[in-house]
């Protein structure tokens, strides 16, 4: 709303409608650069690498969008229809206690990681402690029933792999939540503001749902494309045979597969099958691949920086990476 | 005039949502294009999300148009200090007090969302083809093939017609997975048996030999793994990336490593269209 008093003295000027002149050269330069890039693209359009890049990028987006729609529908529904007092009643008041509860509650949402980012943002908007919402964000894609069944199918006759994944992922989520309680600073986290965040009194909840859904989907969808493009670039540029050189050193295997999980950005329903196909690596290294993958990867960092700000995404993802690798080594050492 | 332009710009996010939905419906309804990227099981989720997005986009457009018509020009209200003021609704009243973080444009929704037009336009107009020779030629992506667990092959396939002479052995249709698995079989179940395989072609290292490939995916095309068989055949090598159906006999190559592609000596072959589901490794079915 732009406020206009009856007298014109307090009239707030509207935003200038014309493009400021200093933007014009930049605009012209942008158009020129775009034209050059388009011309270059036409030349290499059908080269094998570019063709593969297009297919892989589109494939990751197509794979991710249904889960993204599910996640944004849930998050918009939470935002529009669930009253705030529900969360404050269910979750313990003390954030340190709320973290494990939220971690276990992550099992309720069977979706991939694309879905959990908007839901966690919506939880924070509704007054859930950030630490608890973050524990939920990490555990929801990693310990839900669909993922555990997929893991059991991918590793037939190895139930300890399923157990290891469950325990290590839950451990990572809870430890990260507690780390946020202990060391997190509110200024790192740009709290997501909803599209209808400023209360104008009684707005139609259905309309609020529609606006929330559209805003969340567009934002998360854009960052899904960013992540898919990054993963497709790595897929095309880094030859898979490079990985073979690491297979022989067992201690190098864990960090290498954890790093691979970050750049491959496979969704959590499918990463168990990829891990099973990496047969040259030790079971602990493959466990690290499956624990890190749903919590830290390129598209997830992109989605998180969209929802919570870049300062947060970089700190949170690097800390999660370290914790997840340590948890996999400990749990893998005990169980596998 | 300006208000009309701004009103139309406010429609853009809804149109973008509908465009993504339309792209999803285009590759799933009455079309199998989505099988070039993901697995069969995702069809219903894709159709459902396509419908949700198209509906959401239409609801946004309709809501926006009717809201424009109903909207009061000025409203009476109070400002922060409690003075009586006229409140003038702006073009996009939901975002004007919203956040000022990066990636946001208040009149057009999140700016990063425009990237969604790239995959949507690709799916609608320039459908990317399934993965082919570029992926199959990369070493280190071999699929893991179970080496056991196949049933005993019938001693001799039943002749197609009762009158046919029993001595003519019909080729056994086989998936590449099964062929590669059986090539490691200690019982040599492939020995001397004509088999039929389907796959796409990539060039080999020497003249007279090429590879027959399949790519299999566990989730989407990003995790494609290859299956391949080394083909020895007379005649010219078929065009790279073309699909062929061939009949031949396994040629044991003792001394090579177990990860090397098994070899087949081909008697006859013919070109076939690309299968409906390029990433599903099934035996050739038609006669």
Nearest CB to B17; choose among A56, A198, A218 = A218
Give yes or no for residue A162 having a pLDDT over 80.
yes
pLDDT greater than 70 at residue A327: yes
Mean pLDDT of A261-266: 80
Write down which residue in B58, B93, B125 finishes a domain: B125
More confident residue, B1 or A65: A65
- Gap from B1 CA to chain A (nearest CA, Å): 12
Chain A partners of B94 at a C-beta cutoff of 8 Å? Answer: 195-196, 211
| Chain B residues lying within 8 Å of A309, measured CB to CB | 101
Answer yes or no: do B116 and A221 touch at CB < 8 A: yes
Same-domain status, B101 and B47: yes
Residue B72 located in a structural domain? yes
B276 within a domain of the structure (yes/no): no
> A34: which 2 tokens?
């775009």
Report the candidate in B114, B46, B64, B120 with the shortest Cα–Cα distance to residue A218.
B114
- Asked if residue B168 and residue B121 are part of one domain, the reply reads no
CA distance B218 to A267: 11
Residue in chain B nearest A16 by alpha carbon:
B2
User: A62 and B103 in contact by Cβ < 8 A?
Assistant: no
Are B20 and A221 in contact (CB < 8 Å)? Answer: yes
Mean pLDDT computed over A141-149:
82
ipTM over 0.85: no
Distance of CA B128 to the CA centre of its chain: 9
Per-residue pLDDT in tens (0 to 9) along chain B, 287 residues:
445 555 566 788 999 999 999 999 999 998 999 999 988 888 999 999 999 999 999 999 998 888 766 655 666 666 667 777 766 655 444 443 333 333 333 445 677 889 999 999 999 998 899 999 998 888 777 777 766 566 666 654 444 444 444 445 688 899 998 898 888 877 788 888 899 999 999 998 888 899 999 998 877 888 788 999 999 988 888 999 999 999 999 988 877 777 788 999 998 899 999 999 999 988 987 64
Query: What is the per-residue pLDDT for A7?
Result: 40
The domain tally of chain B equals: 2
CA distance B263 to chain A (A): 22
C-alpha distance from B12 to closest chain A C-alpha (Å): 11
**B147 has a chain A CB within 8 A of its CB:** no
Same domain (yes/no): B138, B115:
no
Average pLDDT over residues A84-106: 84
Residues B54 and B150 in one domain: no
**Residue range A291-299: mean pLDDT, rounded:** 89
Asked if residue B242 belongs to a domain, the reply is: yes
The SS3 assignment for B198 reads strand
Domain-embedded: residue B278: no
Residues B175 and B101 in one domain: no
User: What is the CATH number for B164?
Assistant: 2.40.50.140
DSSP B205: S
Burial class (CB in 10 A: 0-12, 13-18, 19+), A236: buried
Smallest CA–CA distance, residue B223 to chain A, in Å, is 7
Give residue B190's pLDDT. 85
Interface of B with A in 217-256 (CB under 8 A): 218-223, 225
**CB distance B215 to B136 below 8 Å:** yes
Identify whether residues B91 and B209 lie together within a single domain: no
Same domain, B119 and B137: no
Structural domain ending residue among the three candidates B99, B125, B151: B125
The pLDDT assigned to B7 comes to: 58
| Contact call for B112 and A219, based on CB within 8 A | yes
Task: Identify the closest residue of chain B to A51 by CA–CA distance.
Answer: B128
Residue B257 inside a domain? The answer is yes
CB contact under 8 A, B49 and A69: yes
| B75 and B186 within one domain | no
Contact A239 B85 (CB under 8 A): no
Q: Does B20 touch chain A (CB under 8 A)?
A: yes
Reply yes or no on whether the pLDDT at A39 is more than 80: no
Q: Which of A17-26, A277-286, B261-270 is the least confident region?
A: A17-26
Residues B158 and B114 in one domain: no
**Residue B277 resides in a domain:** no
Q: Is residue B280 one of the residues assigned to a domain? A: no
Range 77-136 of B in CB contact (< 8 A) with A: 79, 83-90, 93-99, 101-103, 109-116, 118-119, 122-123, 128-135
Residue B274 in contact with partner chain A when CB distance is under 8 A? no
In this prediction, residue A3 carries a pLDDT of: 41
CB contact under 8 A, B88 and A10: no
- Which position has the token pair 């996640």? A71
SS (H, E, C) chain A: CEEEECCHHHCCCCCCCCCCCCHHHHHHHHHHHHHHHHHHHHHHCCCHHHHHHHHHHHHHHHHHHHHHHHHHHHHHHHHHHCCHHHHHHHCCCCHHHHHHHHHHHHHHCCCCHHHHHHHHHHHHHCCCCHHHHHHHHHHHHHCCHHHHHHHHHHCCCCHHHHHHHHHHHHHHHHHHHHHHHHHCCHHHCCCCCCCCCCCCCCCCHHHHHHHHHHHHHHHHHHHHHHHHHHHHHHHHHCCCHHHHCCCCCHHHHHHHHHHHHHHHCCCCCCHHHHHHHCCCCCHHHHHHHHHHCCCCCHHHHHHHHHHHCHHHHHHHHHHHHHHHHHHHHHHHHHHC
pLDDT band, residue A279 (cuts 50/70/90): low
Residues B220 and B185 grouped into a single domain: yes
CB < 8 Å from A in window 179-208 of B: none
- Given this model, what pLDDT does residue B221 score? 84
Where does a domain end: B100, B125, B150? Answer: B125
Please name the member of B45, B102, B223 whose beta carbon is closest to the beta carbon of A270: B223
User: Range of B24's domain?
Assistant: 2-125
Residue B279 lies in a domain: no
Collapsed DSSP state (helix, strand, coil) of residue B167: coil
B138 and B81 part of one domain: no
> Do B68 and B28 have their domain in common?
yes
Residue A92 has pLDDT above 60, yes or no: yes
């Amino acid at each position: 709303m732009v406020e206009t008093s009856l007298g014109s003295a307090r009239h707030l000027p509207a935003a200038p409608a014309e493009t400021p002149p200093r933007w014009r050269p930049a605009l012209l330069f942008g158009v020129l650069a775009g034209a050059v890039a388009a011309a270059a693209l036409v030349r290499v359009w059908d080269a094998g690498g570019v063709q593969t890049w297009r297919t892989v990028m589109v494939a990751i987006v197509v794979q991710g969008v249904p889960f993204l729609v599910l996640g944004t529908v849930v998050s918009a529904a939470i935002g529009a229809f669930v009253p705030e007092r529900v969360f404050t009643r269910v979750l313990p008041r003390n954030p340190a206690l709320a973290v494990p509860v939220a971690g276990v509650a992550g099992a309720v949402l069977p979706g991939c990681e694309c879905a959990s980012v908007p839901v966690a943002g919506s939880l924070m908007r509704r007054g859930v402690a950030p630490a608890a919402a973050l524990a939920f964000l990490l555990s929801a894609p990693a310990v839900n029933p669909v993922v555990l069944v997929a893991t059991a199918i991918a590793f037939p006759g190895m139930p300890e792999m399923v157990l290891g994944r469950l325990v290590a992922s839950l451990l990572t989520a809870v430890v990260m939540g507690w780390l946020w309680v202990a060391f997190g600073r509110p200024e790192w986290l740009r709290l997501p503001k909803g599209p209808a965040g400023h209360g104008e009194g009684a707005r139609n909840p259905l309309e609020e749902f529609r606006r929330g859904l559209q805003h969340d989907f567009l934002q998360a969808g854009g960052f899904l494309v960013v992540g898919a493009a990054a993963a497709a670039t790595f897929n095309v540029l880094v030859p898979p045979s490079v990985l073979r050189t690491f297979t022989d050193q067992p201690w190098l295997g864990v960090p290498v597969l954890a790093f691979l999980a970050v750049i491959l950005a496979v969704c959590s329903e499918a990463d168990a099958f990829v891990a099973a196909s990496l047969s040259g690596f030790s079971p602990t290294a493959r466990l690290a691949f499956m624990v890190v993958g749903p919590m830290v990867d390129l598209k997830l960092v992109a989605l998180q920086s969209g929802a919570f700000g870049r300062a947060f995404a970089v700190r949170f993802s690097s800390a999660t990476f370290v914790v997840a690798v340590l948890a996999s080594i400990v749990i893998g050492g005990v169980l596998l | 005039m300006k208000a009309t332009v701004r009103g139309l710009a406010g429609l853009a996010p809804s149109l973008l949502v509908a465009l993504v939905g339309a792209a999803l419906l285009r590759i799933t309804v009455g079309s199998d294009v989505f099988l070039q990227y993901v697995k069969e099981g995702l069809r219903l989720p894709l159709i459902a999300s396509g419908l949700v997005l198209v509906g959401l986009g239409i609801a946004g457009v309709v809501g926006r148009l009717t809201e424009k018509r109903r909207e009061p020009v000025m409203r009476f209200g109070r400002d922060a200090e409690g003075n009586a003021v006229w409140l003038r609704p702006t073009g996009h009243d939901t975002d004007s007090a919203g956040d000022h973080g990066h990636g946001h444009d208040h009149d057009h929704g999140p700016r990063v969302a425009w990237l969604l037009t790239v995959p949507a336009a690709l799916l609608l107009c320039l459908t990317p083809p399934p993965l082919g020779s570029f992926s199959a030629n990369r070493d280190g992506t071999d699929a893991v093939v179970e080496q056991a667990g196949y049933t005993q092959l019938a001693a001799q396939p039943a002749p197609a017609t009762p009158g046919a002479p029993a001595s003519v052995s019909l080729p056994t249709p086989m998936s590449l997975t099964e062929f590669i698995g059986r090539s490691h079989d200690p019982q040599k179940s492939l020995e001397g048996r004509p088999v039929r395989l389907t796959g796409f072609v990539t060039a080999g290292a020497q003249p007279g030999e090429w590879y027959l490939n399949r790519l299999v995916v566990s989730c989407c095309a990003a995790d494609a793994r290859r299956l391949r068989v080394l083909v020895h055949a007379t005649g010219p090598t078929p065009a790279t990336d073309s699909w062929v159906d061939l009949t031949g006999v396994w040629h044991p190559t003792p001394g090579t490593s177990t990860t090397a592609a098994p070899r087949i000596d081909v008697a006859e072959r013919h070109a076939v269209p690309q299968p409906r589901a390029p990433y599903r490794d099934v035996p050739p079915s038609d006669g």
